[in-house]
Structure 1
C-alpha cells in the first residue's frame, strides 16, 4: 500500500513530468529548423543526480518502474538494501513542423521534402546515434475522426519512409502514431493550418 507521503512524492513526479514535457517541445511552423538546431535540441544532457536522495527511500521499488524517456538516479532502500532507480527528468523532447502535403493526401510535396532535409541530416548524424523516435501525424478538426486518424497515420508513415530511405536511418528506430484531430497545436483555432503538422519525438536510447 502507498502511504500519504509516498503519494505526495509520486504526485510531484507527475507534475514535474508534465511541466518538462511542455518545456521541451519546439514548434517551428513552416520554417524548418537548421540541422544544428535539431541536433542541439535532441542531444542527451549529461545525467546529474541531486545531492540528497533520502526523501525517496520509502518509495516502493514497484512504483519506480523504468519508463521510456526518463533519466534515472540511483538510490538505496534503507530497509531492503536494494538499489532503486528514481526518475528525475524527462529526456523526451519533441519538435513540430507544418509539413506540406497535397490536399487530403499523404503525398509529400517537393517543399515538404526540402523541409525534411535538415531533420534527416540531424537524425542520421553521429551526434544523435542510437536514439529512437516517434513520428506523430496531426490534423485540424475538419472531417470525421476516422478520416483524420487514417490521414494522420499515413502522413506520419510518409515522413518515416522518406527519412529512412533518403538518410539511411534505421526503420526500427522510428515508430509512428496518427493523432488525428486530437492534441491540437492551436486549440483556439481548430481549423487552423497550424494544426496540420508532424511532430517528431525523441524517445532516448
Structure 2
C-alpha cells in the first residue's frame, strides 16, 4: 500500500522568523575605511603606498541575490534572499602628525613622516588617486574649538603636501574635531591627535 507524503508545513511564527532573518542579512551595512594606524611610528614611503593601494574599487555595489529553494519546498516562499557581498572599504592611513600646542604649525619632529607621505602621494603608484586629509584632535577643550582646530590642521597638511609635489586638485580636507576619538577611554591620549589620509577614488 502506498503511503502519501505530506509536505512539511511550518507554523506561521517559524516561517515569519525565517524570513525576518533573511531580510536582515540583505540589509547593507555602513562601510568604514580600512585604516593602517601607524601611531607614533614613521611609516616608510613604500608602507604608505602599499596601504593606500589596498582599498576596494569604487565600483563595489550592494545588492540582493536570491537562491531558489529545492523542489517541493513550501510555495509560501519561493526564494531566499542572500546577503550581497559588502562593498570594499576605502583604504586609509592614520598618522600622528604633531603640531605646536593649539596651533596648525607642523612640528619639526613630524617632518620625516609628512615628507614620506608627500613622496608616497606624488608617486607613480598613486598617480591620479584622490585623497581626503582628515584632521582629528583629542578631547581637551570645547567641541567647537577642536572642530576649527582640526580643520586648520588638515588644511596645513594639505598646504605642505602641495608644496612638496602633490597636485592640490587631488586633495580635499575635512576636520573631525573630537568626534572620532581613536582612544575614547582616554580622550586626552596622544593617539587621538592625528591626521588620517583616506583614498577616495580616482
Query: For residues 100-132 of structure 1, what are the alpha-carbon distances to aligned partners after superposition, in whole Å with 9 as ceiling and x for unaligned?
Result: 110110001222222111111111111011111
Q: By how many angstroms is 1:138 displaced?
A: 0.6
Write the distance in 2 (CA, Å) between the matches of 1:97 and 1:37.
12
Once residues 185 and 96 of structure 2 are traced to their aligned partners in structure 1, the CA distance between those partners, rounded to angstroms, is 17
CA distance in 2, matches of 1:6, 1:177: 38
1:135/1:177 contact within 8 Å kept: yes
Contact 1:94 1:202 in 2 (8 A): yes
**How far 1:71 sits from its partner (Å)?**
2.6
Q: State yes or no: 1:134 paired with 2:144.
A: no
Deviation at 1:204, TM superposition (A): 1.8
Q: Which is higher, the Rg of structure 1 or of structure 2?
A: 2
CA distance in 2, matches of 1:91, 1:137: 20
Change (3 A) 1:46 1:190: closer
Counterpart pick for 1:29 among 39, 60, 67: 39
Consecutive unaligned residues in structure 1, runs of 5 or more: 48-68, 76-85
Alignment root-mean-square deviation, CA:
2.8
Q: Residue 87 and residue 129 in structure 1: after superposition, are their counterparts in 2 closer, same or farther (change >3 A)?
A: farther
Q: Output the TM-score relative to the length of structure 2.
A: 0.72
- For the residue of structure 1 that corresponds to 2:196, the secondary structure is strand
Q: 1:14 aligns with which of 12, 19, 29?
A: 29
User: 113-122 or 181-190: which moved more?
Assistant: 113-122
In structure 2, stretches of 5+ residues that fail to align are 1-18, 65-83
Distance in 2, Cα, partners of 1:131 & 1:6: 38
* DSSP-derived class of the 2:145 partner: helix
Three-state SS of the structure 2 residue aligned to 1:71 is coil
Q: Equivalent residue for 1:83?
A: none
Conserved? CA contact 2:93–2:197, under 8 Å: yes
CA shift, 1:89, in A, is 2.9
State the match for 1:154 in structure 2.
152
Report the TM-score, using the length of structure 1 for normalisation: 0.71
Higher helix share: 1
